[in-house]
Amino acid sequence: MKFATKAIHAGQHPDPTTGAVMTPIYQTSTYWQQSPGEHKGYEYSRGTNPTRKALEDCLAALENARFGLAFSSGMAATDTVLRLLQSGDEVVTGNDLYGGSYRIFTKVYEQLGIKFHFVDLSNPEAIRSHLNENTKLIWIETPTNPTMQIIDIEAVGAVAKEAGVLYVVDNTFASPYLQNPIDLGADIVMHSVTKYIAGHSDVVMGALVTNNEELYKRLFFYYNACGGTPGPQDSFLALRGIKTLHLRMKAHCENGRQVAHFLRNHPRIEKVYWPGFEDHPNHLVAKKQMRDFGGMISIVLKDASLQDTFKVASSFKVFSLAESLGGVESLINHPATMTHGSIPREVREKVGVVDNLIRISVGVEDIEDLLEDLKQALAL
């Protein structure tokens, strides 16, 4: 099946009892068993639930994978992957990461004896100098949050395979509509489903997908044992959101393109981070592994203090100043004090996450209204 068909139908079948086309919300904690251990595939909803299972199968299909797991948040999904490690293991990851990922790496798992190497992965060969017998995981996100670095998924996968280490790609910024890391060598793909996949800013959820059955079983053990699973109502909402993912992403990409070009020509903007520009350092890699360039953009305001930046960020009328991204509505975010506030200043500034940087999640509103809002906010 093609992408749009999978988004609408994968994992979903008419309800056998009523014929309902939409997957029902199975609001139950437990399931009847004919005799001990003899059941219809469901025992207790922490482990499995029919609504969540339909979502997980759909997510796997969208990433061209066999197995999917849904979690109560993207961080719960990340935590489950990290539970595969043990004290003394080492991880190679990027130097530009979502603040929540950096926080769990450094504040939780470093305390348990895991060592993390934060590396500029724009050149995948840079990984090799950090590999040793203790390296067990390579974790990347691409495009990165918020400086929109593009990492060559396939090239990093080749290094990971050669070294025999687990390879995880956070595909949140792109969504499965724009790229499929499993096809490019990833062992696991992670998503904050909260963002583009659910797409309506009404669900907090994460996901992992994989093609490796043994790996899936290991992940499922922690998924069930530790209990970071979402309820059926949220699973239903995410499944509903997926049905328009292909339509929304087309609009995000088109609006994002126009916003990026508008901002690049604005006198108050010093720099625009967007992988669609031909002079982006890894534009050709983005063009190779992505189907379009998405709706995420970061900008640096020219000669702006923190107070100036706050004033601009707080002056929008259509864009909302808020955390998160990927919803139908356009959002403005100040990473240094919001999503990346847990990263020490000296660490984040090395990769360009400065006080006068603003991250933009371009929504699907009428482009004329978005451009007009940008004009008035930047005129202050």
CA distance 360 to 260: 10
* Residue type at 157 in one-letter notation: G
In this structure, are residues 96 and 144 in contact, taking their beta carbons and an 8 Å threshold?
A: yes
46 in catalytic set: yes
Neighbour order of strands in the sheet with 135-141? 67-71, 206-210, 188-192, 166-170, 135-141, 90-94, 115-119
The first and second tokens of residue 199, run together, are 């797409």
* Strand 320-321, strand 296-301: pairing: unpaired
User: Among residues 6, 52, 136, 195, which one is catalytic?
Assistant: 195
CA distance 315 to 11: 43
User: Among residues 79, 89, 152, 170, which one is catalytic?
Assistant: 170
In this structure, are residues 48 and 40 in contact, taking their beta carbons and an 8 Å threshold?
A: no
User: Among residues 26, 98, 216, 273, which one is catalytic?
Assistant: 98
Dihedral of the alpha carbons of 125, 343, 143, 277, in degrees to the nearest 10: -100
The first and second tokens of residue 266, run together, are 């604005």
Closest CA to 181 of 157, 207, 215, 158: 157
Residues 6+ apart with CB under 8 A from 13: none
CA distance 241 to 368: 25
* Residue type at 1 in one-letter notation: M
366 in catalytic set: no
Neighbouring C-alpha atoms within 13 Å toward the C-beta of 250? 5
170 in catalytic set: yes
Helix residue ranges, H only, 143-244: 153-163, 175-178, 213-226, 232-242
CA distance 308 to 301: 9
Angle at 249 between CA 147 and CA 266, to 5 degrees: 45
CA distance 323 to 273: 19
For residue 357, give the H/E element and its range.
Answer: strand 357-361
User: Among residues 46, 288, 291, 311, which one is catalytic?
Assistant: 46
* Strand 269-273, strand 296-301: pairing: antiparallel
264 in catalytic set: no
Active site residues: 46, 98, 170, 195
